[in-house]
Structure 1
Amino acid sequence: MSVINRLLLRTATLSFTLFFIFKTQCYAQITLSKVFGDNMVLQRDMKIPVWGNSAPGAHITAELGGKQVTTKASQEGKWKVDFPKFKAGGPYTLKFYEKGKAGEAIEFNNVLIGDVWLASGQSNMEWQVQQAKDAENEIAKADYPNIHFLFVEHDKKLTPQTDISSGQWKVCDTANVRELSAVAYYFSRKIHQDQNVPIGIIQSTWGGTPVESWTSREKLLTSPITKAATLGNDTLTYDHFIADSLNSVRYWEIVYQPQNNTDQKIPEPEYDDSDWNGIEMPGVFRDIGMAGYNGMVWLRKKVMLPESFTRKDLTINLGHPEMNYSLYFNGTQICKNVWNANPTHHYTIPAKLVKNGENTISVRMAVLWGGGGLNPPADELYITDSVSRVSLEGTWLYKKDLEPALPEIQNYHYYPEVLFNAMINPLIPYGIKGFIWYQGEANAEAAYDYRTLFPMMIQDWRARWGQGDLPFLFVQLANFQAVKPQPSESDWAELREAQTMTLSLPNTGMACIIDIGEADDIHPRNKQEVGRRLALIANKLVYEENIIASGPQYKSFKVEGNKVRISFAHTGSGLATMDGKEVTGFAIAGEDKQFYWAKAEIDGDEVVVSSDKVKSPKAVRYAWADNPVCNLVNSEGLPAVPFRTDDRID
């Protein structure tokens, strides 16, 4: 950043600060936490806490729906009021003013009373409606004036904060819904429709983050798993955060904006790529020894198009490219995709750009975190005139390091406690109905520890909210990565097991989505079904509906000669397979602990498992893989929860 830009930034910051101070003084020094505002939803059927700051000792009056409460600010200028219980309804106006100064009241309008859910986790909870399945159609019909949501901006702090950095409640409509968590939106939509009450979503999410970053320091210090790493934060200062933030700005500047005028030179058909290397597409760069590479890579391919393609608009389909890329055709940019903002990756090539014969395709791609490439299947990589296709499968040329190297960043938001401090603690004690959570991918490499860390965080949040065992509903990891031909060990399966074990905590529920993941995308598109399954659990657990809300779950097993009989809970009116074919996904082992694929047959509410290779079975596993091929469901079509019996036998 130049000296001039820094001076401008400081001037703008000072101006904003003075404006904020002036505005605060105009309101008799009353301020409220930023979690409150126009369009907020407050929790029904409980005392409603509202808090803020004012002049020390000030007498504060608050009014809501004909109810009036008063309090006196502490010597530190802090105050809190509790409104009595309200039934669902609204809209109301919420007012605050200092004694004798009603004319200077702060007012919040369009306030609803309903059910408030805190949605948190990493990128699969953060994934936006506009990035998910059927985005444009869903956005077009998103008109729900009684669903409101609050975004908690990304922030990290070394100590617990009393307020979020910024936030604004918004009404769910076609303009605002695009950036809302898709899972939270589809969850709230179904709950709103089923329960007929206003729904508030507080979204506090950050992609790539482990459970430790969402847990308080005090709780982390109670476990030997996290104590040392948490104490390691004591060496950090905000200077570390600032320096890393500057590096992060430069990092993403390089990712998003072509450097060294590469976008002006490399896409041109006549560009000399004679010293570039070849890679087979579809494919990924990690498979050619670039698993540890982070940076920008350019791809080029010459393709011969028939004369019939000329004078026509064409469609190019890139299949499943990695998240951040730009596509060029004969030197002209066709698209720029940021974080898969386009859920499908086919684009129109204007007829004026198409040449008879040789044409040049160029792709600028961010290769990050072991990814990068044009993922399979091959039949989704092509150009078409809607009549015939020209495949883009085969050898592409690539070159890395044509742009500056990405600066090293520490990703301090992954560190223990820092997100709890900045993005969770400031929300307490806002009245809520419960939590929805989608996270775990970032903890898969230490999956066994998740057995401790995940319940620890849940208990931490519940204790701090002081609303008892608040409902905590979470999503189990989806199927992901390549299908393995033989039974094997799996970090993702072990993490799913840890999630299942967390159901031993009271008032918890888990949505199993082992059937709707995608092998080549850690962010599966079908968020509608994820939200629906979470809502089913809420309807049963929280709203006490008499429904089947989860798939079959392992209950017990019994050895019968060379077979094993597995019993399940949550079978509904019976077990079935989602595709009507034979049961798949079971493996069986004897004393040698060598697992083999098993024959499995449904017998009422049980499954009988066997293998000619295992005469004296000792253990059974189901869907135990990163990306298992499995098809057992109950009468509601909900998938059976992955499990293993290994830890349950002598």
Structure 2
Amino acid sequence: MTEQRRLTKQTTAKYYIKKHLSDWFIKTSLTAILAAITTIGFGQVTLPKVFSDHMVLQRNTDIPVWGNAAPKTEISIQFAERRTSTITDAEGKWMVKLPRMQAGGPYKLEVFEGKKPFPVVQFEDILIGDVWVASGQSNMEWQVQQAMNAETEIKNAHFPSIRLFNVAHDKQLTPQEDIAGGTWAVCDTSSVKEASAVAYFFARQLNTEMNVPIGILQSTWGGTPVEAWTSREMSLSSPITREHILMNDSLTTDHFVKDSLDLIRFWDIVYNPKNKTDKTIPKKNLDDSDWDELNMPSTFKDWNIPPYEGMVWFRKTVALPDNMRGKELTINLGHPEMNYSLYFNGTEICKTVWNANKTHHYSLPAKLTKSGKCVIAVRMAVLWGGGGFNPPAENMYITDGENKISLTGAWKYKKDLEPTIPKIYNYHQYPNVLYNGMINPIIPYGIKGFIWYQGENNAEAGYDYRTLFPMMINDWRVRWQQGYLPFLYVQLANYMKTSPEPSESDWAALREAQTMTLTQPNTGMACIIDLGEADNIHPTNKQEVGRRLALLAEKLVYNKNVQASGPLYKGYTVEGNQIRVHFTETGSGLSTRDGLPLKGFAIAGSDHKFYWANAVIDGNDVVVSTDKVTNPVAVRYAWADNPECNLINQEGLPAIPFRSDSNRKDKEQ
């Protein structure tokens, strides 16, 4: 048990003395008392780590509290002047359900064992309110300190009735009874930094609007598919996952341990140059005549280079003209992939982590630019199919503010100058393992509902997601045994390059699967097709994501009269050479985000070739047409990885992407 949820022997002694042994204390030394108490068997009663000081317990429902002790032991819980008791079973397990309460606090919870007059476990500063489980992959895990306006948000994070709990990462082969770690914290400028930004902004709005304590029980892990969060039993029920589950039965914890150790070595190589390459490779006089060449900007994918993972060194020699020598210059690398370090004439200029920089330009000190011949060296981690410098070419140059030297063209590169990076199996992505370690142990903690942001790791299998996502939702609801708990989730944002012509899109298909999940009872979806960033899979405006989730909660859960969704496709009718698209969730009326004509609509005839179309708002409908299609049969909106689209309702919420031809037999099915 953690220090925050267990009374130490000394603390217990102090409590015992104060309430029961005052007369004895007069006659006996404290040392003698402590010596006597050490012979008493403390610590047998345990509760899962999800219980701690500062927790929020769910209001207006019976409150489950559970744990372990010696078999056939009486356990009593004292909470808010009420006492509830039970007897542990033959395995020492116990559970009580505290009577339902209204929002309020703070309270103290005390756990008593048998006839002992003092508590063996005690928690303080407990609030009664609404608890939301926040789960998913990296966009839910993305921290407040990584979000837009982070410094201001952290400075203003004084919300004592918001409590935050972050379940420690843990992958397990079988369902666990307890999580690996975590503790409740009061939301302040310290605790909020590493909290989920989406969940925090969601909690902040609900706490402000509903005036009720909010607990965020965060269980997230970046880069994970929905299968990892689903139980084995539920996964075996689907042919999509059944075979994979059975294949993984040969896994042991030794596989996990080895992978974790390899992962440490993996990142050690990425972040720390080996074989003294950082001392030798960037030097101006290095002979790189036998190195291979690539024209930049481009990536390994562009040149069909065989798959490779590891450290790659790039070099380019440039000649500075006389009017730029001896000046402080600026170098811009455009958009290098992954983690990299930049060297200029043998001196390290920068070292990035996860391409955290939005721009990749750096100052070159005047002392390094005195000679005409200069050597640029870049040490780059080539991982997961990446490698190289992304276009456009105009973003690669050296300048003094007036003159500019292009860095495009031939670059030398060489692989295998450093140790081989270990192969990582990423077992945290395997089916069931996160459910086992990070969801099962917090069941049946009393909660109000779920918020979820995930899907990027399933984007290549959108049709499967139609089954897998609702399956996980149902799995969690059944196991929590609190009925159709509200399940609110975020649809994937716009991301990657904008396509000049209508085309197919894996991300659009995944968004479609997410929209289809709205047929499940008591679900809500926050569309953020306007909040993404082309070159950033983790868009930083988490404030608006949290707000839109909170709007859904206000409407679906707290019964407030608010517009919580953007326009939702209802159907269409063909009117000659036009298609009239019908919407629900139009709010106060349809509009465009930027006041410009509608963008993002495409229609097709019987040949199923789509063309961009003109679109105009007509009441709660949109009328779509193009001279290129005389007999339209299908219409699409925002059907792309990163669509240009601007339809909203008057409340400012974006229309949800759709296609009318979603039920046709696609090649992918």
| Normalised TM-score (structure 2) | 0.87
Distance in 2 separating the partners of 1:307 and 1:431:
72
**What is the CA distance between 1:90 and its match in structure 2?**
2.5
Distance in 1 separating the partners of 2:241 and 2:327:
61
Q: Does 1:112 align with 2:157?
A: no
Q: Per-residue displacement from partner, 1:291-328 (whole Å, max 9, x unpaired)?
A: 73222222344556688988887666555443433344
Equivalent residue in structure 2 for 1:601, among 616, 619, 627:
616
Q: Per-residue displacement from partner, 1:16-60 (whole Å, max 9, x unpaired)?
A: xxxxxx999863411110111122222222221111111222222
Matching residue of 2:576: 561
**What is the CA distance between 1:454 and its match in structure 2?**
0.6
**What is the CA distance between 1:554 and its match in structure 2?**
0.4
Q: Does 1:81 align with 2:113?
A: no
Give ranges in structure 2 of 5+ residues lacking alignment. Answer: 1-36
Matching residue of 1:234: 249
Distance in 2 separating the partners of 1:355 and 1:143:
52
1:381-530 correspondence runs (5 A) = 390=404, 393-395=407-409, 396-530=411-545
- Aligned to 1:56, the other structure's residue is in SS state coil
CA RMSD in angstroms, aligned pairs only: 2.8
Distance in 1 separating the partners of 2:149 and 2:363:
19
Q: Does 1:198 align with 2:213?
A: yes
Equivalent residue in structure 1 for 2:258, among 219, 243, 251:
243
Q: Per-residue displacement from partner, 1:464-483 (whole Å, max 9, x unpaired)?
A: 00111111111111122222
Cα distance 1:507–1:290, how it changes in 2: closer, same or farther (>3 A)?
A: farther
Q: Per-residue displacement from partner, 1:449-493 (whole Å, max 9, x unpaired)?
A: 111111011011001001111111111111222222221222211
Cα distance 1:68–1:351, how it changes in 2: closer, same or farther (>3 A)?
A: farther
Distance in 2 separating the partners of 1:102 and 1:359:
79
Q: Determine if contact 1:280/1:393 at 8 Å carries over to the other structure.
A: no
1:165-314 correspondence runs (5 A) = 165-290=180-305, 292-302=307-317
Cα distance 1:290–1:218, how it changes in 2: closer, same or farther (>3 A)?
A: same
Matching residue of 1:157: 172
Distance in 2 separating the partners of 1:572 and 1:442:
33
307-316 vs 424-433, which deviates more? 307-316
How high is the sequence identity, in percent, across the aligned residues?
Answer: 64
Cα distance 1:39–1:320, how it changes in 2: closer, same or farther (>3 A)?
A: farther
Distance in 2 separating the partners of 1:132 and 1:543:
27
Amino acid at match of 2:310: G
Distance in 2 separating the partners of 1:374 and 1:139:
34
Equivalent residue in structure 2 for 1:91, among 100, 103, 106:
106
Distance in 1 separating the partners of 2:142 and 2:397:
27
Cα distance 1:179–1:602, how it changes in 2: closer, same or farther (>3 A)?
A: same
Amino acid at match of 1:394: T
**What is the CA distance between 1:415 and its match in structure 2?**
1.6
Distance in 2 separating the partners of 1:447 and 1:597:
24
Larger of the two Rg values belongs to structure: 2
Matching residue of 1:575: 590
Distance in 2 separating the partners of 1:40 and 1:332:
51
**What is the CA distance between 1:214 and its match in structure 2?**
0.9
Distance in 2 separating the partners of 1:63 and 1:391:
74
Distance in 2 separating the partners of 1:316 and 1:134:
27
Q: Determine if contact 1:135/1:343 at 8 Å carries over to the other structure.
A: no
Cα distance 1:77–1:25, how it changes in 2: closer, same or farther (>3 A)?
A: farther
Amino acid at match of 1:635: Q
Distance in 1 separating the partners of 2:399 and 2:203:
40
Matching residue of 1:589: 604
Q: Does 1:620 align with 2:624?
A: no
Equivalent residue in structure 1 for 2:384, among 353, 366, 369:
369
**What is the CA distance between 1:239 and its match in structure 2?**
2.4
Matching residue of 1:68: 83
Amino acid at match of 1:220: S
Distance in 2 separating the partners of 1:571 and 1:194:
23
Cα distance 1:173–1:324, how it changes in 2: closer, same or farther (>3 A)?
A: farther
**What is the CA distance between 1:390 and its match in structure 2?**
4.7
Cα distance 1:535–1:306, how it changes in 2: closer, same or farther (>3 A)?
A: farther
Cα distance 1:393–1:40, how it changes in 2: closer, same or farther (>3 A)?
A: farther
Distance in 1 separating the partners of 2:200 and 2:378:
33
1:49-64 correspondence runs (5 A) = 49-64=64-79
Matching residue of 1:130: 145
Distance in 1 separating the partners of 2:624 and 2:535:
30
Amino acid at match of 1:202: L
315-324 vs 54-63, which deviates more? 315-324
- Aligned to 2:458, the other structure's residue is in SS state helix
277-286 vs 562-571, which deviates more? 277-286
Q: Determine if contact 1:583/1:601 at 8 Å carries over to the other structure.
A: yes
Amino acid at match of 1:151: N
Amino acid at match of 1:46: T
396-405 vs 425-434, which deviates more? 396-405
Distance in 2 separating the partners of 1:104 and 1:49:
19
Cα distance 1:355–1:78, how it changes in 2: closer, same or farther (>3 A)?
A: farther
Distance in 2 separating the partners of 1:35 and 1:482:
42
Amino acid at match of 1:634: N
419-428 vs 630-639, which deviates more? 630-639
Distance in 1 separating the partners of 2:90 and 2:527:
50
Q: Determine if contact 2:223/2:429 at 8 Å carries over to the other structure.
A: yes
Amino acid at match of 1:120: S
Q: Per-residue displacement from partner, 1:549-571 (whole Å, max 9, x unpaired)?
A: 11111011111111110011111
- Aligned to 2:222, the other structure's residue is in SS state coil
Q: Determine if contact 2:578/2:625 at 8 Å carries over to the other structure.
A: yes
**What is the CA distance between 1:420 and its match in structure 2?**
0.9
Matching residue of 2:53: 38
Q: Per-residue displacement from partner, 1:161-186 (whole Å, max 9, x unpaired)?
A: 11111112223333332322222222
| Normalised TM-score (structure 1) | 0.89
Cα distance 1:356–1:275, how it changes in 2: closer, same or farther (>3 A)?
A: same
The count of residues paired between Structure 1 and Structure 2 equals: 628
**What is the CA distance between 1:389 and its match in structure 2?**
7.3
Matching residue of 2:30: none
Q: Determine if contact 1:317/1:380 at 8 Å carries over to the other structure.
A: yes
**What is the CA distance between 1:504 and its match in structure 2?**
0.4
Distance in 1 separating the partners of 2:266 and 2:621:
54
427-436 vs 37-46, which deviates more? 37-46
Q: Determine if contact 1:31/1:54 at 8 Å carries over to the other structure.
A: yes
Q: Determine if contact 1:24/1:30 at 8 Å carries over to the other structure.
A: no
